[in-house]
Chains A and B, each alone.
Chain A
Amino acid sequence: MPSDSALRIVWIYPDLLSTYGDQGNVLVLEQRAQRRGIETETVHVRSADPVPESGDIYLIGGGEDRPQILATQRLRRDGGLHRAIAGGAAMLAVCAGYQIMGSTFGGEEGQPVDGIGLLDIASSRGPARAVGELVAEVDSALGLPTLTGFENHMGVTRLGPGVKPLSRTVVGVGNGDGFEGCYAGHVVGTYLHGPALARNPALADLLLAWRVGDLAPLDDTRYEQLRQERLAAVLPR
């Protein structure tokens, strides 16, 4: 049941954009909130439905070219996400969802497609698909440990002055200019799957803290074991 005190997680268009285990980001946020005694309420917004404006954290995932274009058209027509972000909500946008947030991205034939302009970025289709593990050092202003994840995209993303790079790549391609992802206000964009929040629980906590303030520590043994194994597998010794 909806409750005024519950943390509202809004998963945008799982029917179009959720092909890379993006549900995991929802599940990790729910788990990390609930283990701290924070009640959560998750809304799965299908593409035919309006995007609610009253959410706390919005998640949007990756997908194929055609669904990406469809999702963009629907988000622009709907307007709910714009109003939610303008009202201070947090968002994690991944891969195709990340590109959608910019001014433009590459369509299925590489043609430029208008994005929804929530982030000052512009994407296009790159020369080759970037596939593999990625490691990156996060902007020190955010105070997060090393990012780890899996990228699988053909996009090249240029950052405008209205956003900051999320991280500097150590292994992998990311935006294509030595950086991976970006952030502005409470909006984070990234190419990372894995899913991103399962591989980087501190990023999940950052999103949570933006909405609920200070968080109690959790036993992160399972997360930490996976992180160490993945980092050891790809970082040069």
Chain B
Amino acid sequence: MTQLPLRAQLASALGRSAATLSRMTGRGDGSVIGGRVGLMLEPDLLRKLALDRRLALVSATNGKTTTTRLITSALLELGEVATNAFGANMPAGHVSALSQHKDAPYGVLEVDEKYLPEVLDTTGASVVCLMNLSRDQMDRAAEIWLLAQKWRRALSGKPTHVIANCDDPLVTWGASTAAKVTWVAGGQRWKEDSWCCPECGGPLDRKDADWACRECTFHRPEPQWALDGEAAVDPRGQRWVLDIQLPGLANRSNAVMALAVAEAFGLPVERALPRLREVKSVAGRYTTVERDGRQARLLLAKNPAGWLEAFDVADPQLPIILSVNAQGPDGRDTSWLWDVDYRILRGRPVFVTGERRLDLALRLDVADVPFAICGSFSEALAMQPPGRVDVIANYTAFQQIRSEFGRAV
């Protein structure tokens, strides 16, 4: 590591102090305020902190935090890694992450989809990992064709090595201007945002995993890596049974992306994979909380594609508690509930809570899914027989449950 200029050192140190203060006073984990203080004192701080490190940026609609965690876990094989583990995925969070590990030769940064062009320009990251794009919090997030267009412009003419999911047509389009792309067949369960060609608007024809535009030449590139059931297939055709602790198809897909990123850093699968298997829970996702003999497993789902993934993980034999809010971070428009197909829950005991439980109640009523409405999560949990129950909650609803049960794990 080269020495930071004095001003940047000071900015970075003051930012860390602000972060510590924020944590000590219980205001948060400090990753945003610390970075903001640093950037205020030295606007060029992120670029300076990124110099002489090998960075991977991770972006997608879903799975950013988990994949960032998996890649970080793998790269720890190589040395110290700076990362924004708590999902503070805008430049202030990146400054904070790099300040806290100022000597780390590696960095893995989760990046908000909108900020990817800016963060790539500023940090000059050598690797970018792109997993999926789907409708998400439309009242505040950018529209996804527009996002993919911005990714194309940002990647064009840079030496960046992109690792991208070629099963998502919009991601493929967004990544395909990069000089070097490693394509991963990571799967795509939610297809409602990719029936049309991002290049020309024509219909996409799909056959099994393959897709191609009927009207222009845009088509699925040949993948080097693939998720095949429970295993990853590497570019040499070797199968690696993943056997990770994180549940569900989406996480197996995230794991294959992480293995491909690790290899781009020179880390072979045999060293990376055991590290991925150590990850049990990520910022409270998939963790189990317990009260009075009820064990509730917490699944986070922020948008229709995320709910589909959560349904894949939820146990059909168990009752399920659903909690939905519509605060700023959730998106204040609850219309997206109507894009989720809740009929899969028919036959399970379903409990509905959260600040927007009446929206969810009507949605379930129209889907002919019987349910009980509960005033709070605690009330919903108390209505369960002793034993296991699954919980799906959107962002602030999830955080409310976590803070009620302690933020451990």
Contact = CB atoms under 8 A, between A and B. Distances in A.
A222 B196 contact: no
A128 to B, nearest CB: 14
Nearest to A192: B335
A60 interface: no
Contacts of B361: 222, 225-226
B338 A48 contact: no
Interface string B196-208: 1000011100000
B347 to A, nearest CB: 19
A162 interface: no
Interface in A139-195: 150, 152, 193-195
Interface in B305-345: 332-339
Given A15-B203, A48-B214, A150-B139, A222 B362 contact: yes
A70 B333 CA distance: 25
Contacts of A229: 358
Contacts of B358: 222, 225-226, 229
B144 interface: yes
B333 A193 contact: yes
B366 interface: yes
B202 A198 contact: no
A223 B366 CA distance: 10
Contacts, number: 97
Given A48-B203, A67-B145, A195 B335 contact: yes
A86 interface: no
A18 B365 CA distance: 21
Contacts of A222: 358, 361-362, 365
Interface string A110-148: 000000000000000000000111000000000000000
B290 interface: no
Interface in B164-219: 192-193, 195-196, 201-203, 214
A22 B135 CA distance: 13
A150 B335 contact: yes
B169 to A, nearest CB: 12
Interface in B210-253: 214
Interface residues of A, number: 36
B4 interface: no
Given A15-B196, A46-B195, A150-B333, A21 B365 contact: no
Interface residues of B, number: 32
Contacts of B201: 16, 47, 66-67, 70
A27 to B, nearest CB: 5
B143 interface: yes
A224 to B, nearest CB: 10
A193 B336 CA distance: 10
B332 A150 contact: yes
A23 interface: yes
Contact of B335 (A20, A46, A48, A223): A20
A194 B356 CA distance: 12
Interface in B354-372: 358-359, 361-363, 365-367
A212 to B, nearest CB: 19
B196 A21 contact: no
A21 B335 contact: yes
Given A31-B366, A48-B202, A198 B338 contact: yes
A20 B70 CA distance: 32
Interface of A: 14-16, 18-24, 27-28, 31, 46-48, 64-67, 70, 108, 131-133, 150, 152, 193-195, 198, 222-223, 225-226, 229
For the complex of A and B, list the 10 residue pairs with the smallest distance between their C-beta atoms, beginning with the closest.
A24-B338, A21-B335, A15-B195, A21-B338, A48-B203, A70-B201, A64-B143, A193-B335, A150-B333, A226-B358
Given A19-B143, A48-B203, 15 more contacts: A14-B192, A16-B196, A18-B192, A19-B138, A19-B193, A20-B138, A24-B366, A48-B202, A64-B143, A70-B196, A132-B332, A222-B358, A222-B365, A225-B358, A226-B362
